[in-house]
Structure 1
Amino acid sequence: CPVEITQEIIGGKWKGVILYKLLESGCLRFSELKRRMPRITQRMLTLQLRSLEEDGLVIRTIYPEVPPRVEYRLTVLGKTLQPVIDSLMKWGLLYEETKSAPVSKKAAVQHEAEVC
Protein backbone atom coordinates (compact mmCIF):
# COMPACT_ATOMS: atom_id res chain seq x y z
CA CYS A 1 0.00 0.00 0.00
CA PRO A 2 1.51 3.37 -0.99
CA VAL A 3 0.26 5.06 2.20
CA GLU A 4 1.96 2.38 4.28
CA ILE A 5 5.22 2.84 2.37
CA THR A 6 5.11 6.62 2.85
CA GLN A 7 4.28 6.31 6.52
CA GLU A 8 7.10 3.82 7.01
CA ILE A 9 9.61 6.21 5.43
CA ILE A 10 8.53 9.53 6.97
CA GLY A 11 6.47 8.35 9.94
CA GLY A 12 7.42 8.36 13.57
CA LYS A 13 7.86 11.12 16.05
CA TRP A 14 10.83 12.94 14.52
CA LYS A 15 11.27 12.35 10.78
CA GLY A 16 8.51 14.76 9.77
CA VAL A 17 9.97 17.46 12.00
CA ILE A 18 13.47 16.90 10.59
CA LEU A 19 12.10 17.12 7.04
CA TYR A 20 10.18 20.29 7.94
CA LYS A 21 13.29 21.94 9.43
CA LEU A 22 15.37 21.06 6.36
CA LEU A 23 12.64 22.29 3.99
CA GLU A 24 12.46 25.51 6.00
CA SER A 25 16.22 26.14 6.11
CA GLY A 26 17.68 24.34 3.12
CA CYS A 27 20.86 23.11 4.75
CA LEU A 28 21.65 22.62 8.42
CA ARG A 29 24.53 21.35 10.49
CA PHE A 30 23.81 18.63 13.03
CA SER A 31 24.16 21.07 15.95
CA GLU A 32 21.74 23.53 14.30
CA LEU A 33 19.16 20.79 13.79
CA LYS A 34 19.58 19.69 17.40
CA ARG A 35 19.17 23.29 18.60
CA ARG A 36 15.93 23.64 16.61
CA MET A 37 14.62 20.37 18.06
CA PRO A 38 15.51 20.62 21.77
CA ARG A 39 13.41 17.60 22.85
CA ILE A 40 15.16 15.09 20.56
CA THR A 41 18.19 13.25 21.92
CA GLN A 42 21.45 13.35 20.02
CA ARG A 43 21.30 9.58 19.48
CA MET A 44 17.74 9.72 18.13
CA LEU A 45 18.60 12.60 15.78
CA THR A 46 21.58 10.61 14.48
CA LEU A 47 19.44 7.49 13.93
CA GLN A 48 16.65 9.40 12.18
CA LEU A 49 19.07 11.27 9.91
CA ARG A 50 20.79 7.99 8.97
CA SER A 51 17.43 6.44 8.15
CA LEU A 52 16.38 9.41 6.01
CA GLU A 53 19.76 9.26 4.28
CA GLU A 54 19.38 5.52 3.58
CA ASP A 55 15.93 6.17 2.13
CA GLY A 56 17.39 8.76 -0.24
CA LEU A 57 15.68 11.80 1.26
CA VAL A 58 18.65 13.48 2.94
CA ILE A 59 22.23 14.09 1.82
CA ARG A 60 24.99 14.22 4.41
CA THR A 61 28.04 16.25 3.38
CA ILE A 62 31.27 16.01 5.37
CA TYR A 63 33.79 18.81 4.86
CA PRO A 64 37.48 18.03 5.36
CA GLU A 65 38.07 20.58 8.10
CA VAL A 66 39.25 20.48 11.67
CA PRO A 67 36.95 20.08 13.47
CA PRO A 68 34.93 18.26 10.80
CA ARG A 69 31.83 20.05 9.56
CA VAL A 70 28.82 17.95 8.58
CA GLU A 71 25.77 19.41 6.86
CA TYR A 72 22.42 17.90 5.98
CA ARG A 73 20.10 18.89 3.16
CA LEU A 74 17.24 17.32 1.27
CA THR A 75 17.75 15.43 -1.96
CA VAL A 76 15.60 16.19 -5.00
CA LEU A 77 13.36 13.31 -3.89
CA GLY A 78 13.24 14.70 -0.35
CA LYS A 79 12.14 18.10 -1.66
CA THR A 80 9.14 16.47 -3.34
CA LEU A 81 7.74 15.98 0.18
CA GLN A 82 7.15 19.75 0.49
CA PRO A 83 3.38 19.54 -0.22
CA VAL A 84 3.02 16.57 2.15
CA ILE A 85 4.83 18.35 4.99
CA ASP A 86 2.90 21.57 4.28
CA SER A 87 -0.38 19.64 4.46
CA LEU A 88 0.64 18.04 7.76
CA MET A 89 1.52 21.46 9.16
CA LYS A 90 -1.81 22.97 8.05
CA TRP A 91 -3.74 20.04 9.49
CA GLY A 92 -1.83 20.35 12.78
CA LEU A 93 -2.75 24.03 13.01
CA LEU A 94 -6.40 23.22 12.27
CA TYR A 95 -6.35 20.50 14.92
CA GLU A 96 -4.89 22.89 17.51
CA GLU A 97 -7.55 25.47 16.63
CA THR A 98 -10.34 22.92 16.94
CA LYS A 99 -9.07 21.59 20.27
CA SER A 100 -8.86 25.07 21.75
CA ALA A 101 -12.13 26.28 20.21
CA PRO A 102 -15.29 26.79 22.26
CA VAL A 103 -17.55 23.77 22.63
CA SER A 104 -20.03 25.14 20.04
CA LYS A 105 -17.36 25.21 17.31
CA LYS A 106 -16.20 21.69 18.22
CA ALA A 107 -19.77 20.47 17.90
CA ALA A 108 -20.07 22.08 14.47
CA VAL A 109 -16.87 20.36 13.28
CA GLN A 110 -18.10 17.01 14.65
CA HIS A 111 -21.49 17.55 12.94
CA GLU A 112 -19.73 18.16 9.59
CA ALA A 113 -17.89 14.86 10.02
CA GLU A 114 -21.13 13.01 10.80
CA VAL A 115 -22.81 14.35 7.64
CA CYS A 116 -20.40 12.36 5.51
Structure 2
Amino acid sequence: MADRQSDFIAGVVTGAVVGGILGGILGLVLASRVGRESAEGQGRDPERLDGTATSPECPRSRGLGKATESSLRSWREWEQEAERIAQVRRTLEAKIAELNEAIQATRAQLLIKETSSRAVEEKS
Protein backbone atom coordinates (compact mmCIF):
# COMPACT_ATOMS: atom_id res chain seq x y z
CA MET A 1 0.00 0.00 0.00
CA ALA A 2 2.84 2.38 0.87
CA ASP A 3 4.46 1.55 -2.47
CA ARG A 4 1.32 2.63 -4.37
CA GLN A 5 1.13 5.87 -2.40
CA SER A 6 4.77 6.74 -3.08
CA ASP A 7 4.25 5.97 -6.78
CA PHE A 8 1.22 8.28 -6.81
CA ILE A 9 3.14 11.10 -5.12
CA ALA A 10 6.09 10.62 -7.49
CA GLY A 11 3.70 10.78 -10.46
CA VAL A 12 2.09 13.97 -9.19
CA VAL A 13 5.46 15.64 -8.59
CA THR A 14 6.77 14.53 -11.98
CA GLY A 15 3.62 15.79 -13.69
CA ALA A 16 3.85 19.13 -11.92
CA VAL A 17 7.51 19.59 -12.88
CA VAL A 18 6.99 18.58 -16.52
CA GLY A 19 3.82 20.69 -16.75
CA GLY A 20 5.60 23.68 -15.25
CA ILE A 21 8.47 23.41 -17.70
CA LEU A 22 6.18 23.02 -20.71
CA GLY A 23 3.93 25.83 -19.50
CA GLY A 24 6.89 28.13 -19.02
CA ILE A 25 8.23 27.45 -22.48
CA LEU A 26 4.80 27.96 -24.04
CA GLY A 27 4.33 31.16 -22.03
CA LEU A 28 7.64 32.59 -23.21
CA VAL A 29 6.86 31.85 -26.85
CA LEU A 30 3.36 33.33 -26.69
CA ALA A 31 4.42 36.34 -24.61
CA SER A 32 7.10 37.34 -27.08
CA ARG A 33 4.61 37.05 -29.95
CA VAL A 34 1.93 39.05 -28.14
CA GLY A 35 4.48 41.67 -27.07
CA ARG A 36 5.70 42.08 -30.62
CA GLU A 37 2.14 42.45 -31.94
CA SER A 38 1.31 44.92 -29.19
CA ALA A 39 4.34 47.06 -29.99
CA GLU A 40 3.40 47.09 -33.66
CA GLY A 41 -0.17 48.06 -32.79
CA GLN A 42 0.96 50.97 -30.65
CA GLY A 43 3.16 52.16 -33.47
CA ARG A 44 0.15 52.36 -35.74
CA ASP A 45 -2.14 53.86 -33.08
CA PRO A 46 -0.40 56.22 -30.65
CA GLU A 47 -3.61 56.70 -28.64
CA ARG A 48 -3.04 54.41 -25.68
CA LEU A 49 -5.52 53.41 -23.01
CA ASP A 50 -3.05 54.00 -20.19
CA GLY A 51 -3.10 57.77 -20.76
CA THR A 52 0.38 57.98 -22.23
CA ALA A 53 -0.71 59.10 -25.67
CA THR A 54 1.65 61.51 -27.26
CA SER A 55 0.20 64.83 -28.24
CA PRO A 56 0.52 66.14 -31.74
CA GLU A 57 3.26 68.70 -32.10
CA CYS A 58 2.06 72.00 -30.78
CA PRO A 59 1.89 74.44 -33.68
CA ARG A 60 2.75 77.29 -31.29
CA SER A 61 6.17 75.78 -30.73
CA ARG A 62 6.95 76.13 -34.44
CA GLY A 63 5.59 79.62 -34.72
CA LEU A 64 2.09 80.58 -35.80
CA GLY A 65 3.22 81.77 -39.20
CA LYS A 66 4.22 78.25 -40.22
CA ALA A 67 1.27 76.45 -38.60
CA THR A 68 -1.27 75.12 -41.03
CA GLU A 69 -4.97 75.14 -40.35
CA SER A 70 -5.13 71.36 -40.12
CA SER A 71 -2.34 71.17 -37.55
CA LEU A 72 -4.05 73.85 -35.46
CA ARG A 73 -7.32 71.94 -35.70
CA SER A 74 -5.68 68.65 -34.66
CA TRP A 75 -3.97 70.38 -31.75
CA ARG A 76 -7.25 71.92 -30.57
CA GLU A 77 -9.03 68.59 -30.96
CA TRP A 78 -6.32 66.88 -28.93
CA GLU A 79 -6.55 69.52 -26.19
CA GLN A 80 -10.36 69.21 -26.09
CA GLU A 81 -10.16 65.42 -25.91
CA ALA A 82 -7.57 65.56 -23.14
CA GLU A 83 -9.77 67.96 -21.15
CA ARG A 84 -12.83 65.77 -21.70
CA ILE A 85 -10.94 62.71 -20.47
CA ALA A 86 -9.72 64.64 -17.41
CA GLN A 87 -13.29 65.75 -16.63
CA VAL A 88 -14.60 62.20 -16.95
CA ARG A 89 -11.81 60.98 -14.67
CA ARG A 90 -12.69 63.61 -12.03
CA THR A 91 -16.37 62.67 -12.22
CA LEU A 92 -15.56 58.99 -11.89
CA GLU A 93 -13.31 59.63 -8.89
CA ALA A 94 -16.10 61.60 -7.21
CA LYS A 95 -18.58 58.78 -7.81
CA ILE A 96 -16.14 56.23 -6.39
CA ALA A 97 -15.69 58.39 -3.30
CA GLU A 98 -19.49 58.56 -2.86
CA LEU A 99 -19.75 54.79 -3.18
CA ASN A 100 -16.99 54.28 -0.62
CA GLU A 101 -18.80 56.57 1.81
CA ALA A 102 -22.06 54.66 1.30
CA ILE A 103 -20.28 51.36 1.88
CA GLN A 104 -18.72 52.66 5.09
CA ALA A 105 -22.10 53.95 6.33
CA THR A 106 -23.80 50.64 5.57
CA ARG A 107 -21.00 48.72 7.28
CA ALA A 108 -21.37 50.91 10.39
CA GLN A 109 -25.14 50.34 10.45
CA LEU A 110 -24.69 46.58 10.13
CA LEU A 111 -22.14 46.54 12.93
CA ILE A 112 -24.50 48.49 15.19
CA LYS A 113 -27.38 46.09 14.42
CA GLU A 114 -25.14 43.06 14.94
CA THR A 115 -23.84 44.41 18.23
CA SER A 116 -27.31 45.22 19.53
CA SER A 117 -28.66 41.80 18.50
CA ARG A 118 -25.76 40.09 20.32
CA ALA A 119 -26.47 42.15 23.43
CA VAL A 120 -30.14 41.10 23.33
CA GLU A 121 -29.15 37.44 22.91
CA GLU A 122 -26.73 37.61 25.84
CA LYS A 123 -29.41 39.09 28.13
CA SER A 124 -31.79 36.26 27.27
Question: What TM-score does the superposition give when structure 2 sets the normalisation length?
Answer: 0.28
Question: What TM-score does the superposition give when structure 1 sets the normalisation length?
Answer: 0.29
**Greater RCO between the two (CA within 8 Å, min separation 6)?**
1
Q: Which has the higher helix share?
A: 2
Q: Which has the higher strand share?
A: 1
